[in-house]
Amino acid sequence: MSSKPLKPEQYAAIQLLVQPKNNGFTLDEIADSVAFTRQRLYRWCQNINFNDEIKR
């Protein structure tokens, strides 16, 4: 089973999430910066591919 590649906005969120203390941003601000809701950001964080990319 092949995994779906991450979208550019997911990579943008990851760049903020991997910074110490989210680079001072709240999860709401991170979601707003990539034009999505906090709920979508939460769902992304449940995604194995998204989490694997954060851990890299």
pLDDT per residue over 28-37, tens digit each? 999 998 888 8
**Cβ atoms 7, 49 nearer than 8 A:** no
Nearest to 14 by CA among 39, 34, 38, 35: 34
pLDDT of 51 > 80? The answer is: yes
In the numeric block, the tokens 């910074």 are attached to 19
Cα 12 from chain centre:
7
What are the tokens at 10? 């997911």
Domain ranges of the chain: 8-55
Q: In angstroms, rounded to a whole number, what is the distance separating the alpha carbons of residues 40 and 43?
A: 5
pTM of the model: 0.81
